[in-house]
Structure 1
Amino acid sequence: MAYDHEEQEQLATLKAWWQRHGNLTSWVLIVALAGYSGWAGWQYYQRNQAAQAGQLYEELQGAIAAKDAAKIQRAAGDMQSRFGGTAYAQMSGLAAAKAAFDAKDLKTAKAQLQWVAEHGSEEYKAIAKLRLAGVLLDEKAYDEALKVLSGDTVAQFAGAVADRKGDVLVAQNKLADARTAYLAAWNATSKDNPGRQLIQVKLEAIGGSVPEEKKAEAAAA
């Protein structure tokens, strides 16, 4: 079918535009397609990693139920080496640490908690540090426990960290510092948290107290 004059002009304009910009347009399309392909590949990789990590986590839970200490630690090690960037690795570290602690293998428990404290998200790091400090407290490694608890922590764990510091300081017989730590823990703990009353009991047991107006608020709550 023959083109009319207007169509021929449009084709000529298109050809001229393509001669000037066609190569650049092709590269833009190639880059865009490559970017999409890379994004889709990354999404698939992430899903595949999560699925494999989830399967390995189930194996670890099975080993915990069977009290198979060697398999627990092996599964946790595999998780950390293969899927260290997933939440499963952090959960596995905490679970493996608890299993080791229950088996009185404090060295392994500390190693697992240290891994989470170094590689986990802020929340998991805080949990790992609290538990690690507890193990060190049991071992009477007081200065090391306080070192673990030093530095910033996420707000939701501020009360628990201060409470654990108070426990360590009491063990060191540094009662003035312990009172300061317990009071900070009491202030940082929400009124509806049952642990707040225990913090107050510990504070008062070493000669401290919360402000009177706050006692009244606590009683009213």
Structure 2
Amino acid sequence: MSELRTEEEQIELMKRWWADNGKSLIAGLVLAVAVVGGWKWWQADQQSKAEAASSAYEQLIDVMNKPEMTDEERATAKHLAVTLQAEHDGSLYADYAALFEAKILVDDQQYDAAAAVLRKLNTETESVLIKEISGVRQAQVLWQQGENQQALDLLSTLKTEAYTGNAEELKGDILTEMDDKDAARIAYEKAKAAFNASGVARPVIDMKLADLGA
């Protein structure tokens, strides 16, 4: 009898425990399932977005790589670039799309709009490389607008590594136009050294140095 009572007591204790804790246990299990399910859904959603961004970017590249774009193709490229930035903000796809949009705007001589795109990109991107590229291209736009000193001022503030050669060559081009040959020569020499250090052949710099004369 004592064993029976013990078993009955154990069963009764289990019933009480279940009454006290069963609902919270079920809730916990449901929450765990929901968390796991939510995580899997989030992963699937992120994968889907990444694939969509990749597909749109490939389309953009295909159009931009055409030697000569028709007006319709230019409109398509701009639409793809703008859409990528809107739908995949914060991604590298969006960053590169902004660079392409700026290029299209420059080709259309919409310099103010191009500069605005590049400034926004430079401010918001988390990529050091994109900051370098967008900074140098902002300076190029300023130069094309005839704002030589502003372009030089911007270049002097840029922290470049991968694009040091490009930045210094652009300085040389601007200074040459300003007829400051000595400063231009120094900039070209820095550009040449930077390109050589990175293993990039840039023979046009030797031509630019030669054009400066002795």
Change (3 A) 1:37 1:198: same
1:105 aligned residue: 110
Structure 2 counterpart of 1:144, one-letter code: Q
TM-score (normalised: structure 1):
0.65
SS at match of 2:71: coil
Question: Could you list the per-position Cα deviations for residues 49-100 of structure 1 after superposition, in whole angstroms to 9, with x for gaps in the alignment?
Answer: 2123234435545776553355544433332232121121122112222222
Q: Is the 8 A contact 2:118 2:138 kept in 1?
A: yes
2:179 pairs, out of 170, 173, 177, with: 173
Structure 1 distance, partners of 2:32, 2:156, is 47
Once the two structures are TM-superposed, the CA of residue 43 in structure 1 deviates from its matched residue by 3.5
Structure 2 distance, partners of 1:170, 1:147, is 16
* Cα RMSD, aligned residues only: 3.7
- Map residues 120-135 of structure 1 onto 2, 5 A cutoff: 120=125, 121-135=127-141
Q: Is the 8 A contact 2:165 2:194 kept in 1?
A: yes
- Map residues 1-221 of structure 1 onto 2, 5 A cutoff: 40=40, 42-58=42-58, 60=60, 65-68=69-72, 69-120=74-125, 121-190=127-196, 192-195=199-202, 197-207=203-213
Runs of 5+ consecutive residues of structure 2 not aligned to the other structure: 1-24
Q: Is the 8 A contact 2:135 2:158 kept in 1?
A: no
Change (3 A) 1:58 1:156: closer
SS at match of 2:179: coil
Structure 1 distance, partners of 2:63, 2:87, is 18
Structure 2 distance, partners of 1:186, 1:113, is 26
Could you tell me the percent identity over the aligned residues? 29
Structure 1 distance, partners of 2:144, 2:42, is 45
Structure 2 counterpart of 1:111, one-letter code: A
TM-score (normalised: structure 2):
0.67
134-143 vs 186-195, which deviates more? 186-195
